[in-house]
Amino acid sequence: MNIGYIGIGIMGRPMAQNLIKAGHTLFVHNRTLDKCDPLTELGASVWTTPAHVAAMSEILFINVTDTPDVEAVLFGADGVIETGKPGLIVVDNSTISPVKTKAFAARLKERQIDFLDAPVSGGDVGAQNGTLSIMVGGEKAVFEKCLPLFEVLGSKITHVGEVGLGQTCKACNQLFCALHMLACSEGIALAKKAGLDPATMVEVVSSGAGGSWALANLGPKIVAGDMAPGFMIDLLCKDLNYTVDQGKQINQELVGTALAQRLFEQARTEGYGREGTQALYRVVEDSQTGRWKHEHAEETVG
């Protein structure tokens, strides 16, 4: 099958590689074209605009940073809409606004182009191993056409409902990611200051009721001082904005999420934005410098 993939980053590159390894012909584009080089070595064709990729594709995946980036790929100069043929399916693996997602889908539908919002979870490791969790919103029949491709990319693929609900499900996922990372950071800080070996605590708790993906996978990185990004704080801050905004729209107060959002934003302000989400630990650990203040919690829940 002729597949397009736009957005060759930490997640997009291994996902595109897995599609190539599954025997598909890939046409790829990235704003910085040389990031596509590893894919050309596997046989992918690199094109200079989204419009070129769309013209060659039966199904087109997008995996870019934010809502304006998706909008530019679809509707900007040399965008998908300029050359996308009726029957093209666009699959958005990005994490963006649920409201804008619905608007994008409606606009494409006018051109007989189908759209699925299919954000993913599982980090760069899941992308590399093809074990991502993929939450998909859109028409069931379109989902079923793309299911064999989703099965190449992930091990847990779920059709969650109409267009936009994939992004809503991802917003819930990011809520958990943020709160679990906060719990992981606090637990390691507590263990260390109490004289308990943090590595031992991580190993023990990871196998018990208090365990989480964050603790099992990022806890050891915190202990080792490894803050390299599988998923950057900058991106989680962006995602949490959408989560909190959606809560406001439907009158659902998200007290814990708002607190975590504030702390991740503080980490970003302190220069950790391009590090992994585990760098939140640096804010939590150093309570003596005023980074972790009770008044922040009062402002959030008040």
| Confidence band for 287, pLDDT divided at 50, 70 and 90 | low
- How many residues make up the chain in this entry? 302
Cα 111 to its chain centre, rounded Å, is 28
- Contact yes or no for 283/270 (Cβ under 8 A): yes
In terms of pLDDT, which residue wins out, 75 or 290?
Answer: 75
DSSP type of residue 269: I
**Cα distance between residue 189 and residue 183, in whole Å:** 10
- Residue 42 above 60 pLDDT? yes
Q: What is the DSSP letter of 288?
A: G
190/297 same-domain check: yes
Q: Is residue 189 domain-shared with residue 76, that is, in the same domain? A: no
Give the residue from 31, 32, 37, 233 showing the smallest Cα distance to 16.
37
Kindly state the average pLDDT of the residues 17-23.
Answer: 97
Give the contacts of 112 (CB within 8 A, at least 6 positions apart): 86, 87
- Residue 73 is given by DSSP the state H
In whole angstroms, give the CA distance from residue 300 to residue 297.
5
pLDDT tens figures, 231-270: 899 999 999 999 998 899 899 999 999 999 999 999 999 9
What is the mean pLDDT of the segment spanning 97-102?
Answer: 92
Q: Based on the fold, state whether residues 7 and 54 are members of the same structural domain.
A: yes
Measure the CA angle with vertex 280, ends 277 and 283; round to 5°.
Answer: 165
Angle at 166 between CA 248 and CA 130, to 5 degrees: 135
Same domain, 175 and 121: no
Token output for 260: 């975590």
User: How many CA atoms, within 13 angstroms, populate the side-chain half-sphere of residue 226?
Assistant: 11
- Same domain membership, residue 232 and residue 146: no
Band (pLDDT 50/70/90 cuts) for residue 125 is: confident
Residues 84 and 153 in one domain: yes
Do 19 and 101 sit in the same domain of this protein?
yes
Same domain for 228 and 155, yes or no, is: no
Residue 97: closest CA among 25, 164, 39:
164
User: Which CATH number does the domain housing residue 83 bear?
Assistant: 3.40.50.720
Cβ 115 vs Cβ 140: under 8 Å: no
- Give the count of beta carbons closer than 10 Å to the beta carbon of residue 45: 17
Structure confidence by residue, pLDDT tens digits, 46-78:
999 999 999 999 999 999 999 999 999 999 999
Instruction: Give the angle 242-248-249 at the CA atoms, nearest 5°.
Output: 85
Angle (CA) 21 26 27, round 5°:
155
- Among 162, 185, 218, the domain boundary falls at 162
* Boundary-marking domain end, from 137, 162, 187: 162
Check whether residue 156 and residue 47 sit in a common domain.
yes
* pLDDT tops 70 at residue 5: yes
Around Cβ 66, how many Cβ atoms within 10 Å?
A: 17
Domain boundary residue, one of 162, 188, 211? 162
Q: Which residues are catalytic?
A: 170
Enclosing domain of residue 221: 168-301
Give residues with Cβ within 8 angstroms of 205, minimum separation 6.
187, 211, 215
Tokens of 141: 């029949």
- CATH number of the CATH domain containing 177: 1.10.1040.10
Are residue 9 and residue 148 in the same domain, yes or no?
Answer: yes
What is the total count of domains within the chain? 2
180 and 91 both lie in a single domain: no
pLDDT at residue 123, rounded to an integer: 83
Per the DSSP assignment, residues forming a β-bridge with 298 are: none
Q: Is the domain of 190 the same as that of 56?
A: no
